[in-house]
Structure 1
Amino acid sequence: MQSIPMTVRGEKMLRDELNHLKTVVRPKIIADIAEAREHGDLKENAEYHAAREQQGFCEGRIQEIEAKLSTAQVIDITKIANNGKVIFGATVTILNVETDAEVTYRIVGDDEANIKENLISVNSPIARGLITKEVDDTVNIQTPNGVVEYEIIDVQYV
């Protein structure tokens, strides 16, 4: 099975969600099912069926998280010597050569990606174009609006 790259922050987020599902959500669903059973006929008991459906979603998510954590390769970028190269976990500042617009992204695992927080997936076109490049390199990245030329102006391992 292929290992999934994950930052320390990403692993903590998944472990916290797993803990919440097991200690808060799962017991509440079990209580909801027990309460709905007390209402009698299960065939026409909407609360019972809704609680059973929630139980299915919860158990599925627990299994999904456990599988991801079992194959996770947690990478602590702060423990790697910064040689100016863009790698998984790095925080990269790039400059759009045409517009002079500057943007900073952190390259993270799929589960952590959130463009609103400038966290981009290692599998995104931008990240794939940046990985292995270095400060002062120029890269051409295919975007929905065509190819855009960027210059890497800073790489941090934070």
Structure 2
Amino acid sequence: MLDKIDLRLLQLLQDDGRMTTTELADRVGLGPTATSERVRRLTREGYITGFHARLDPTKVGLGLLVFIEVKLDRTTPEVFEDFAAAVRRAPEVLECHMVSGGFDYLIKSRIEDMSAYRRFLGEILVALPGVKETHTYPVMEEVKNIAGLPL
């Protein structure tokens, strides 16, 4: 079980993964050794899965954000497995979620521009195993984009 200090450590590290152990210790009211042990335990137990730098997508040439609904031609375990394996190999796909409703998967992708998206759609996305139909939603404005969890 997580206590208040664990939750605070997780929240602080979500906000700034580069925070030193000393800074963390000061913020949660523990000594550096106890803080370091807690962070190691949270990592070992899988609460912390990694540390990452958040990049500005436009500065690295990936300014177009799109969401894509994907409907498969069949919904069998084999088709699901083949589709998922192929998606994992596509670097343009940032997230892919199996959903219930009018389609099977929701994909989040970042691409350079609409021309690059057209290539991605024609050469990669529609060639994925089992893809019957796609609907694309280009993002005009990102209103909120938070990577952290609401702890």
TM-score (norm 1): 0.31
In terms of Rg, which structure is larger? 1
More helix by share: 1
TM-score (norm 2): 0.32
